[in-house]
A = this chain, B = another copy of it.
Amino acid sequence: MITSSANVDSQYLFSKIVQHDESITPMHLDLPDEVDDTISLAYGDADPALFPVDALITAVDSMLTGNLDISLNYAPAYAGLVALVQERMARINIPLAHNEIMLANGSSQILSLLPQIMCDAGDVIIVEGPSFLGAVETFFNCGLTIETVPVRDDGMDLDILEATLVRLAAQGIRAKFIYTIPTFQNPTGSLMPLANRQRLVALAAQYGVLIVEDDAYGDLHFENPIPPKLIALDPKWVLYVGTFSKILAPGVRMAWACGPSEVIKRINRFKTEGSNGPFMTRLVAQVSADGWLDQHIAVLNANYAKKCQVMLETIAEAFPSDVRYNRPQGGFFVYAYLPADLPVSRLLPAAIANGVSFLPGTTCYADGQGTHEIRLAFSFQSLEKVVEGIRRLGATMHQLRQA
């Protein structure tokens, strides 16, 4: 546009929460540009080699030669997709009525809507540290007060959670929700065992705080069966968020939330674009039907398990021995803890110069922690590039120590 918007006086024009003109998240680093053959281990993208192209093409052709009006006109989300999700949840002992479930454009949408429906300015929420960077950034930008509870190998540290709840209660503060990823946590890959899950939901009920259970990786377990979902342990105080991003394709932007109808009803009211649209809901339902999705998940898990194993083996060979890291049983990520002389602020520029990148742990905290932590995604790159990327990263660590 030729004119500037100088006359639009932002202090008047906008609501209080958006007077700022930039994201206020403190966690962004200025990074050097990646070179062309940089191997990015930074983001939890799905493996494109596993996208079900033929199944999607068949589903689209079938949809568009059927009743067009129901897939291309104004129409609610396809009820069959809700039924499919209900059936999958019922199989793991989570029966859901129609008013206890909703579809969303990716689980990030639910995480963004929650502060709107649940929080007023200054409200307190409790978030794992480290956690999913998108959630942390969203909650931070909404102006919420974030209490960070550390994550151990068995998930959120429940002693610290309880101490936090006690301290808040003593101050007359009741947190609005606890955001947790109990299964193959992002970024640590940790898995919360049953006893901890039982204690967590009991604490939530005792203190009257809703748990938001982000289960993005819940189907991606490599071997052992996983403990029950939190929502199966206490449907009153858990809002569960699931997604097709990891088990079908992120690009379809399809997720669901389920839990107390009082919460679902209000999220739906603030889901600004209305339904997910008839086209994508039918496409996802059609391609997932008749057991196809379960077969596909089995294929994914075999693949991701292999890539995880190879990443761990290569780390064992390539990294300095004082770098600690987790051994996830599922999900997309290995999380590593760096020694004191290798902060991410030093490692990341050198790594990018050597043709490999990763996610700095600092992006996974609301409070500036994570300066010596890195997330390595084995999900996206090919086996060969996982190996080469880890070797480059290990070589970078050794180089920095010799410098």
Question: By the criterion of a CB under 8 Å from any partner CB, how many residues of chain A are at the interface?
Answer: 89
Residue of B nearest to A71 (CB): B251
A266–B109 alpha-carbon span in the complex (Å): 16
Residue of B nearest to A59 (CB): B60
A379–B263 alpha-carbon span in the complex (Å): 37
User: B252, A13: Cβ atoms under 8 Å?
Assistant: no
Any chain B CB within 8 A of the CB of A226?
Answer: no
User: B15, A117: Cβ atoms under 8 Å?
Assistant: yes
B60, B72, B112, B120: which contacts A250 (Cβ < 8 A)? B72
User: B13, A72: Cβ atoms under 8 Å?
Assistant: no
User: A13, B53: Cβ atoms under 8 Å?
Assistant: no
The smallest beta-carbon distance between A4 and chain B, in angstroms, is: 8
A96–B208 alpha-carbon span in the complex (Å): 49
User: B235, A1: Cβ atoms under 8 Å?
Assistant: yes
Any chain B CB within 8 A of the CB of A270?
Answer: yes
Across-interface contacts of A270 in B (CB, < 8 A): 18, 112
User: A64, B57: Cβ atoms under 8 Å?
Assistant: yes
Considering only residues 44-74 of chain A, those with a C-beta below 8 Å from chain B are 44-46, 48, 51, 53, 56-57, 60-61, 64-65, 68-69, 71-74
The smallest beta-carbon distance between A343 and chain B, in angstroms, is: 27
Bitwise, A1-41 to B at CB < 8 A (1) or not (0) is: 11111111110111110100101000000000000000000
The smallest beta-carbon distance between A236 and chain B, in angstroms, is: 5
Considering only residues 123-180 of chain A, those with a C-beta below 8 Å from chain B are 123, 141, 174, 176
Copies in the complex: 2
Across-interface contacts of A44 in B (CB, < 8 A): 74
Across-interface contacts of A3 in B (CB, < 8 A): 235-236
Residue of B nearest to A22 (CB): B265
Residue of B nearest to A113 (CB): B272
The smallest beta-carbon distance between A165 and chain B, in angstroms, is: 15
A15-B116, A72-B251 provided; 12 other pairs, C-beta below 8 A?
Answer: A5-B260, A7-B205, A18-B117, A48-B68, A60-B61, A61-B61, A108-B272, A112-B270, A252-B279, A253-B273, A279-B280, A280-B280
Q: List 25 A-B contacts (CB under 8 A).
A: A1-B94, A2-B235, A3-B235, A3-B236, A8-B236, A8-B237, A8-B260, A12-B174, A14-B117, A14-B118, A15-B116, A21-B266, A46-B72, A48-B68, A57-B64, A61-B61, A72-B252, A73-B380, A74-B245, A105-B277, A109-B274, A116-B272, A141-B269, A253-B276, A253-B280
Which A residues are within 8 Å of any B CB, using their own CB? 1-10, 12-16, 18, 21, 23, 43-46, 48, 51, 53, 56-57, 60-61, 64-65, 68-69, 71-75, 94-97, 100, 104-106, 108-109, 112-113, 116-120, 123, 141, 174, 176, 205, 208, 210, 235-237, 245, 249-253, 260-263, 265-266, 269-274, 276-280, 380
